[in-house]
Amino acid sequence: MTPDTSISAQDLERSKDSFFSERADIVAKNAVTSQGIRSAARVPEAVAKNSLDFDIDLTQGERTDQMHSGRCWMFASLNTMRYRSIKKFNLKTFELSQAYPLFWDKLEKSNWFLENIIDTVKEPLNGRLVSYLLTDPIGDGGQWDMFKALVKKYGVVPKEAMPETACSKNTRELDMYLTRYLRGTAKQLRDAAEQGKSADDLRAQKKAMLEDVYHILVTCLGEPPASFEVRLHDKDDKLVLSGTFTPQEFFDKAVGMNLDDYISLISAPTKDKPFMHTYTVSRLGNVVEAGGVKYLNLEAEELKRVAIAQLKDNLPVWFGSDVMQSYLTTDGIMDTAAVDVDSLFGFPVETCLDKAARLDYGESLMTHAMVIEGVRFDSDGQPTLWKIENSWGKDHGRNGFDTLTNPWFDEYVYQVVIDKKYLTEEERHIFETEKPTVLQPWDPMGSLALSD
């Protein structure tokens, strides 16, 4: 007997009768078609609990705006760094250049990509690995370890020393043309390998290709400064820092952060990633000599514990999450209780998968990096609400700030960056001594924060 694989007229009639026999479904239809799903599912009582009142509340400079670019990981990293500068020199506000690391990241990612192409010249072009490498060779996204590698090699500069350009504010065209060029170089390298060229020959070709990449980047972003003049005035207009600095000297003087102390913790409750073990992702990185990324996988409660410990020491926390889940963007609220989609539709939609299943089935991964700058506790001292600095400008949310509830943290926060001194002795020992398990390049823990 042939199985019934099609949608029949009887199936359609049954679905129609089921829908229009329920008053709630009709009301939901009218609301959603007029206002959209999230607006119709918005729960005002839950929204009201997301006020900007916190027990720990770090004050930051003016909001930053990544505009139409996927540089959230850079903005989040620089926002944690500029916080130190603002406190150190008693500044009203201060901003580090985001165009500066963008330039070096594109150049380093190009080199990383070409090295991967050389390394895989014997792999089939239509195989999964090479296809993956060609998909997005120099996209805007990134991870903390990748940003750390850029700063250790190139330092940082004030925004005035390398301001935004049309191509940094909106990276679409730069990414499009640079990606096209790099795919062309990939073909040239693979063709040369087929003709019997050695790896040394291919790397000699690569050097010329990188000169072209540099040409493209200077054309689009301007030339990064080798040194620059600085005049910083504090809140009382007193000159607190002046002189000529290289980017590395300025990082040491103005930020003064020991980058190697800061490590990435993830929380991925999938069977292939047991907690209390370390992981890396194959072929994920940017600066070749720095290597790739490294994570320690811990329960979400541990991520909260160390984040609170760092906040108590008056230091913000870089974190990565799946930002658009249960998110009221206009309100600036990430709250699983504030967006009740399941009640709107009448059956489990948002709750049809748990956190592990969302990772396994491609429903969720880290998409955006932001900064935790505050937390509210209940009467038992447990966190209930987190203050978040976004990088979408002061007109987003509430003066550029969002809130994130504790249940949302459990479900959608995947990564935090903290000083390793906050780890337990056992956790630190594992991170420092265990050889990381290597995950496939397309593993969800290899996702890059880039939401704009």
Residues taking part in catalysis: 72, 368, 390
Lookup: tokens for 245: 């600095």
Q: Other C-beta atoms within 10 Å of 4: how many?
A: 8
Place of tokens 């890396």: 280
Q: What is the length of the chain?
A: 452
Lookup: tokens for 31: 């609301």
Instruction: Judge whether 370 and 348 are in contact, CB under 8 Å.
Output: no
Instruction: Judge whether 239 and 272 are in contact, CB under 8 Å.
Output: no
Place of tokens 């700030």: 401
Q: What single-letter amino acid sits at 374?
A: G
- SS3 breakdown of the chain: % helix, strand, coil, rounded to 5? 45, 20, 35
Strands 56-57 and 228-233: unpaired
Instruction: Judge whether 264 and 143 are in contact, CB under 8 Å.
Output: yes
Query: What sign for the dihedral angle of Cα 350, 353, 354, 356?
Result: negative
- Per-residue CA distances from 164 to 69, 100, 134, 434 (Å): 11, 9, 28, 41
> What whole-number distance in Å separates Cα of residue 165 and Cα of residue 12?
54
- Per-residue CA distances from 123 to 71, 190, 194, 230 (Å): 31, 10, 12, 50
Place of tokens 């062309």: 184
* 347 SS3 class: coil
In sequence order, what are the residues at sequence separation of 6 or more whose Cβ sits closer than 8 angstroms to the Cβ of residue 132? 441, 442
Place of tokens 């809140």: 235
> What whole-number distance in Å separates Cα of residue 408 and Cα of residue 134?
34
